[in-house]
Amino acid sequence: MPSLGLSAFPVGPAVIEVEVGDLVLISADAIVNAANEQLLAGGGVCGAIFRAAGPNELQRACNVVAPCPTGQARITPGFALPARYVIHAVGPVWRGGSHGEADLLSGAYRSSLDVAKAHGLSSVAFPAISTGIYGYPFEPAARVATQGALSVLRADPGTLRRVVFVLREPDAAETYVKLLGQSLGAR
Residue 3: CB minimum distance to ligand AR6, A: 9
Cβ neighbours, 10 Å, residue 18: 25
Which of 104/128 has CB closer to ligand AR6? Answer: 128
**Nearer to ligand AR6 by C-beta: 92 or 158?**
92
Angle between helix 55-65 and helix 44-53 axes, rounded to 10 deg: 110
**Which parts of this chain interact with ligand AR6 (CB under 6 A)?**
22-24, 34-36, 42-46, 48, 91, 127-134, 166, 168
In angstroms, what is the minimal distance from the CB of 186 to ligand AR6? 27
The distance of closest approach from Cβ of residue 156 to ligand AR6 in the complex, given in angstroms and rounded to an integer, is 26
Q: Where are the alpha helices (DSSP H) in the chain?
A: 44-53, 55-65, 101-118, 138-155, 170-184
Nearer to ligand AR6, 26 or 158 (CB): 26
Report the residue number, 9 or 109, with the smaller CB distance to ligand AR6: 109
Report strand pairing: 85-90 vs 30-35: parallel
Q: How far is the CB of 129 from ligand AR6 (least distance, A)?
A: 5
- Could you give the C-alpha distances from 26 to 5, 49, 52, 165, 169, in angstroms and in order? 11, 11, 12, 11, 16
